[in-house]
Amino acid sequence: MPKMFFALLTGAAAVAALTACSSSADPASPSSSSQPSPSGAQPAAAGTEIGAAGSACTLPVSISVADKWKPSAIEGEPELLCEISARPAGSIGFLRIYHKKGATDAKAALTAYTAKPTYSDVKLSDIKAGSVAGEEVSYTIDSSGTKSPGLVFAVPVSDGTVLVSLDSLDDEIQQGNRPAYELAKSSLKVIG
């Protein structure tokens, strides 16, 4: 009888430990107050903010960068301002931030962005990036017979349009990197 009682206690302790582990907050996971995107993806945990003068990338907007992702300013490209690498977070892929000067029509900027012969399945939708109304496009890139997903959102700024893109090698990598994209979108603020 004592052995059976000990086995029951051990089993109950294991169940209690598992229950406690599954309900405890994971500091790397987004808070329960985060709003999911229409796709259901939650924003990632924030690491740093970029956009203001003196940050890793000076932009017409500020955004939060996912924890462990590394932003780098791009020199010599007229429209590509910043590349945020997933590699330090253990993934493959980038968020890229573009500034198209001139027209402030987000839909026109996305139409031009996806007007490439290798892009197909283009789907446009209205979104909010932070509190700013914008547009978002999902698409497929066909490169040498390999299909990969793409996602980009655009918002108007005073002197043009800012685009933030997420291009991935495949659907699984895109889903893994999607929370960083959602964080950039939900945290966006226009500077100035």
CA separation for the pair 29, 38 (Å, rounded): 19
**CA angle in degrees (0–180, nearest 5) for 118-123-124:** 120
Q: Which domains does the chain have, with CATH numbers?
A: 42-190 (3.40.1000.10)
The answer to whether the beta carbons of residues 152 and 113 sit under 8 Å apart is yes
What is the spatial distance between Cα 26 and Cα 85, in angstroms, rounded to a whole number? 23
Q: Among all chains, which residue has been given the structure tokens 């109950």?
A: 12
Tokens at 26, concatenated: 């994971």
CB-count exposure of residue 128 (10 Å: 0-12, 13-18, 19+): middle
- Residue 169's pLDDT is what? 87
pLDDT recorded at residue 143? 86
Residues in the chain with pLDDT values less than 50:
1-39
Phi/psi for 171 (5° steps) reads -60, -40
As a whole number of Å, the end-to-end CA separation of the chain is 75
- The pLDDT tens digits of the residues spanning 38-65 come to 445 677 777 899 999 999 999 999 999 9
Q: Which residues pair with 126 in a beta bridge?
A: 135
Q: What's the confidence (pLDDT) of residue 26?
A: 35
| Prediction pTM value | 0.77
Non-local CB neighbours of 192 within 8 Å, separated by 6+ positions: 60, 158
Separation in Å, CA 109 to CA 101, 114, 136? 10, 9, 10
